[in-house]
Amino acid sequence: MLELPFGGFVIDTPGIRAFGIVELKKEEIYHFFPEIFEFSKSCKYYNCLHINEPECAVKDAVEDGSIPWWRYKSYLNIVLDENDKHRVKDVSS
C-alpha cells in the first residue's frame, strides 16, 4: 500500500486486477491460492474444482483447518458466479 502525497492510498492488488482483466478458466483459479493448489494434488480427480466432488483433499483440508475457511470462501466466490450456483451439483458428473 502506497501513501500518496496529496492524501489517500493506492492499494496494490495484482491478484484482484488479474481476475478482473484475464478471463480465467475455473480450473486455473485455484493456482492463485497456493495452499489450495498444494492440497489439490491429493484430490481424486485431476479436474476437481473443490466444490462438491467426492474425495476432495481441499475440502478435507478446510474441514480440519489446514486451509483457512476465509481463503476457501474467497476461492468459491471467484469460481462460482450466479449462473453456476444452481448447477454446482453437476460439476463432478
**Residues forming the site for Zn ion (CB under 5 A):** 43, 48, 50, 56, 58
Task: Indicate the residue among 12 and 55 with the shorter CB distance to Zn ion.
Answer: 55
Distance in Å, CB of 57 to Zn ion, minimum? 6
Residue placing its CB nearer to Zn ion in the complex, 56 or 79: 56
Q: How many separate helices (H) and strands (E) can be counted in the chain?
A: 6, 2
Q: Least distance in Å: CB of 93 to Zn ion?
A: 15
Strand partners, 9: 3
